[in-house]
Protein backbone atom coordinates (compact mmCIF):
# COMPACT_ATOMS: atom_id res chain seq x y z
CA UNK A 1 0.00 0.00 0.00
CA UNK A 2 1.37 3.41 -0.90
CA UNK A 3 0.23 6.98 -1.20
CA UNK A 4 0.73 8.27 -4.73
CA UNK A 5 1.65 11.84 -5.69
CA UNK A 6 -1.32 13.74 -7.11
CA UNK A 7 -0.43 15.89 -10.11
CA UNK A 8 -1.63 19.48 -9.88
CA UNK A 9 -2.81 21.82 -12.62
CA UNK A 10 -1.02 23.00 -14.85
CA UNK A 11 0.89 19.71 -15.06
CA UNK A 12 0.71 18.82 -18.79
CA UNK A 13 0.20 15.10 -18.01
CA UNK A 14 -3.34 15.96 -16.85
CA UNK A 15 -4.17 16.51 -20.54
CA UNK A 16 -3.33 12.88 -21.43
CA UNK A 17 -6.08 10.73 -22.89
CA UNK A 18 -5.50 7.54 -20.89
CA UNK A 19 -5.05 4.11 -22.50
CA UNK A 20 -7.63 1.34 -22.03
CA UNK A 21 -6.67 -1.48 -19.68
CA UNK A 22 -6.44 -4.76 -21.60
CA UNK A 23 -6.00 -7.10 -18.64
CA UNK A 24 -7.06 -6.75 -14.99
CA UNK A 25 -3.91 -8.20 -13.44
CA UNK A 26 -2.15 -7.83 -10.09
CA UNK A 27 -0.56 -4.56 -11.23
CA UNK A 28 -4.01 -3.04 -11.87
CA UNK A 29 -5.26 -4.33 -8.52
CA UNK A 30 -2.28 -2.74 -6.78
CA UNK A 31 -2.91 0.52 -8.66
CA UNK A 32 -6.56 0.48 -7.54
CA UNK A 33 -5.65 -0.09 -3.90
CA UNK A 34 -2.97 2.65 -3.98
CA UNK A 35 -5.40 5.05 -5.67
CA UNK A 36 -8.07 4.38 -3.02
CA UNK A 37 -5.53 4.94 -0.24
CA UNK A 38 -4.38 8.15 -1.94
CA UNK A 39 -7.95 9.39 -2.38
CA UNK A 40 -8.74 8.88 1.34
CA UNK A 41 -5.44 10.45 2.39
CA UNK A 42 -6.27 13.54 0.29
CA UNK A 43 -9.89 13.60 1.57
CA UNK A 44 -11.35 13.21 -1.91
CA UNK A 45 -14.38 11.33 -3.17
CA UNK A 46 -12.94 10.45 -6.58
CA UNK A 47 -9.53 9.97 -8.19
CA UNK A 48 -8.52 9.04 -11.74
CA UNK A 49 -5.23 7.27 -12.58
CA UNK A 50 -4.26 10.25 -14.78
CA UNK A 51 -4.11 12.39 -11.62
CA UNK A 52 -1.52 10.00 -10.20
CA UNK A 53 0.54 10.20 -13.41
CA UNK A 54 -0.58 6.76 -14.60
CA UNK A 55 -1.67 6.40 -18.23
CA UNK A 56 -4.48 3.85 -17.67
CA UNK A 57 -8.27 4.12 -17.75
CA UNK A 58 -8.87 3.46 -14.05
CA UNK A 59 -10.81 5.53 -11.50
CA UNK A 60 -11.85 5.07 -7.89
CA UNK A 61 -14.82 6.76 -6.25
CA UNK A 62 -16.36 6.81 -2.79
CA UNK A 63 -19.32 9.16 -3.04
CA UNK A 64 -21.49 9.59 0.05
CA UNK A 65 -25.13 8.64 -0.39
CA UNK A 66 -27.42 11.02 1.45
CA UNK A 67 -25.79 12.71 4.44
CA UNK A 68 -24.02 9.90 6.31
CA UNK A 69 -20.48 9.33 5.10
CA UNK A 70 -18.76 6.13 6.12
CA UNK A 71 -15.34 5.77 4.50
CA UNK A 72 -15.28 2.78 2.18
CA UNK A 73 -19.05 2.26 2.20
CA UNK A 74 -19.50 3.25 -1.46
CA UNK A 75 -15.97 2.59 -2.70
CA UNK A 76 -15.89 1.45 -6.29
CA UNK A 77 -13.09 1.02 -8.83
CA UNK A 78 -13.93 1.45 -12.49
CA UNK A 79 -11.77 0.10 -15.29
CA UNK A 80 -12.34 1.45 -18.84
CA UNK A 81 -15.49 3.38 -17.78
CA UNK A 82 -17.72 4.71 -20.56
CA UNK A 83 -20.83 6.86 -20.40
CA UNK A 84 -23.28 4.91 -22.57
CA UNK A 85 -26.40 6.99 -21.86
CA UNK A 86 -27.20 10.34 -20.28
CA UNK A 87 -30.14 12.56 -19.54
CA UNK A 88 -31.04 15.96 -18.20
CA UNK A 89 -28.84 18.92 -17.45
CA UNK A 90 -27.70 20.23 -14.08
CA UNK A 91 -25.04 22.41 -12.49
CA UNK A 92 -22.77 21.52 -9.60
CA UNK A 93 -20.08 23.41 -7.70
CA UNK A 94 -17.09 21.14 -8.37
CA UNK A 95 -13.63 20.87 -6.94
CA UNK A 96 -10.73 18.60 -7.81
CA UNK A 97 -7.70 17.19 -6.00
CA UNK A 98 -5.61 18.37 -8.98
CA UNK A 99 -6.94 21.94 -8.60
CA UNK A 100 -6.80 22.22 -4.79
CA UNK A 101 -8.56 25.13 -3.13
CA UNK A 102 -10.67 26.13 -6.14
CA UNK A 103 -14.24 25.37 -7.14
CA UNK A 104 -16.54 26.41 -9.95
CA UNK A 105 -20.05 25.64 -11.11
CA UNK A 106 -19.93 23.10 -13.96
CA UNK A 107 -22.74 22.06 -16.29
CA UNK A 108 -23.28 18.28 -16.28
CA UNK A 109 -25.82 15.61 -17.19
CA UNK A 110 -28.29 14.89 -14.37
CA UNK A 111 -28.30 11.13 -14.95
CA UNK A 112 -25.74 8.84 -16.54
CA UNK A 113 -25.38 5.16 -17.27
CA UNK A 114 -21.75 4.05 -17.07
CA UNK A 115 -20.41 0.77 -18.38
CA UNK A 116 -17.13 -0.46 -16.88
CA UNK A 117 -15.15 -3.44 -15.57
CA UNK A 118 -14.77 -3.78 -11.80
CA UNK A 119 -11.71 -5.02 -9.90
CA UNK A 120 -13.08 -8.58 -9.98
CA UNK A 121 -13.27 -8.40 -13.81
CA UNK A 122 -17.08 -8.25 -13.89
CA UNK A 123 -18.73 -6.16 -16.59
CA UNK A 124 -20.88 -3.69 -14.71
CA UNK A 125 -23.43 -1.05 -15.62
CA UNK A 126 -24.13 1.75 -13.16
CA UNK A 127 -27.20 3.98 -13.35
CA UNK A 128 -26.47 7.11 -11.37
CA UNK A 129 -27.96 10.46 -10.51
CA UNK A 130 -27.20 13.15 -7.92
CA UNK A 131 -23.62 13.65 -6.72
CA UNK A 132 -22.59 10.17 -7.91
CA UNK A 133 -23.55 11.05 -11.51
CA UNK A 134 -21.50 14.27 -11.30
CA UNK A 135 -18.50 12.40 -9.87
CA UNK A 136 -18.64 9.75 -12.62
CA UNK A 137 -18.62 12.43 -15.35
CA UNK A 138 -15.77 14.26 -13.59
CA UNK A 139 -13.61 11.11 -13.40
CA UNK A 140 -14.33 9.99 -17.01
CA UNK A 141 -13.30 13.53 -18.04
CA UNK A 142 -9.93 13.06 -16.26
CA UNK A 143 -9.34 9.87 -18.26
CA UNK A 144 -9.95 11.93 -21.41
CA UNK A 145 -7.51 14.65 -20.29
CA UNK A 146 -10.23 17.12 -19.29
CA UNK A 147 -10.36 19.13 -16.04
CA UNK A 148 -13.50 20.80 -14.67
CA UNK A 149 -12.00 24.20 -15.48
CA UNK A 150 -11.92 23.17 -19.16
CA UNK A 151 -15.74 22.95 -19.01
CA UNK A 152 -16.18 26.61 -18.02
CA UNK A 153 -16.89 29.48 -20.41
CA UNK A 154 -13.70 31.06 -21.75
CA UNK A 155 -14.25 34.10 -19.54
CA UNK A 156 -14.70 32.08 -16.32
CA UNK A 157 -11.86 29.73 -17.27
CA UNK A 158 -9.46 32.62 -17.83
CA UNK A 159 -10.43 34.17 -14.48
CA UNK A 160 -9.94 30.93 -12.52
CA UNK A 161 -6.67 30.14 -14.35
CA UNK A 162 -5.33 33.59 -13.41
CA UNK A 163 -6.34 33.05 -9.76
CA UNK A 164 -4.63 29.64 -9.69
CA UNK A 165 -1.47 31.10 -11.24
CA UNK A 166 -1.39 33.84 -8.57
CA UNK A 167 -1.93 31.29 -5.79
CA UNK A 168 0.97 29.17 -7.09
CA UNK A 169 3.23 32.26 -7.31
CA UNK A 170 2.36 33.19 -3.73
CA UNK A 171 3.03 29.64 -2.55
CA UNK A 172 6.50 29.82 -4.12
CA UNK A 173 7.26 33.15 -2.39
CA UNK A 174 6.40 31.58 0.98
CA UNK A 175 9.20 29.00 0.59
C1 LIG B 1 -14.46 14.85 -8.07
O2 LIG B 1 -13.26 15.69 -6.26
C3 LIG B 1 -15.81 15.43 -7.85
O4 LIG B 1 -10.05 21.64 -3.63
C5 LIG B 1 -13.73 14.50 -6.81
O6 LIG B 1 -8.90 21.49 -1.22
C7 LIG B 1 -15.99 16.80 -7.90
O8 LIG B 1 -12.61 14.62 -4.43
C9 LIG B 1 -16.89 14.63 -7.59
C10 LIG B 1 -10.86 18.19 -2.78
C11 LIG B 1 -17.26 17.35 -7.73
C12 LIG B 1 -18.14 15.18 -7.41
C13 LIG B 1 -18.34 16.52 -7.47
C14 LIG B 1 -10.77 19.38 -3.48
C15 LIG B 1 -10.27 18.11 -1.55
C16 LIG B 1 -11.52 17.00 -3.32
C17 LIG B 1 -10.13 20.46 -2.95
C18 LIG B 1 -12.67 15.66 -5.04
C19 LIG B 1 -9.53 20.37 -1.71
C20 LIG B 1 -9.60 19.20 -1.00
C21 LIG B 1 -12.10 16.93 -4.53
CO1 LIG C 1 -10.71 15.79 -10.35
> Residue 127 in 3-state DSSP?
strand
Burial 88-102 (b: 16+ CB within 10 A, else e): eeeebebebbbbeeb
Residue nearest atom 3 in ligand 1 by C-alpha distance: 135
**12-174 classified as CATH 3.90.45.10:** yes
What pTM does this model have?
0.97
Catalytic residues, by residue number, are: 139
pLDDT digits (tens, 9 = 90+) for 69-126: 788 999 999 999 999 999 999 999 999 999 999 999 999 999 999 999 999 999 999 9
Residue nearest atom 11 in ligand 1 by C-alpha distance: 94
Closest ligand 1 atom to Cα of 103: 4
By the 10 Å C-beta count (0-12 exposed, 13-18 middle, 19+ buried), 33 is classed as middle
pLDDT digits (tens, 9 = 90+) for 136-163: 999 999 999 999 999 999 999 999 999 9
Amino acid sequence: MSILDILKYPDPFLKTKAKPVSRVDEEIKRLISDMAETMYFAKGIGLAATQAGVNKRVAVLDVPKGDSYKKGENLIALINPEIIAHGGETKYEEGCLSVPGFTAEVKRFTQVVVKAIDKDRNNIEIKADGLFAIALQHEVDHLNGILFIDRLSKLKRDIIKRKIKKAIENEKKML
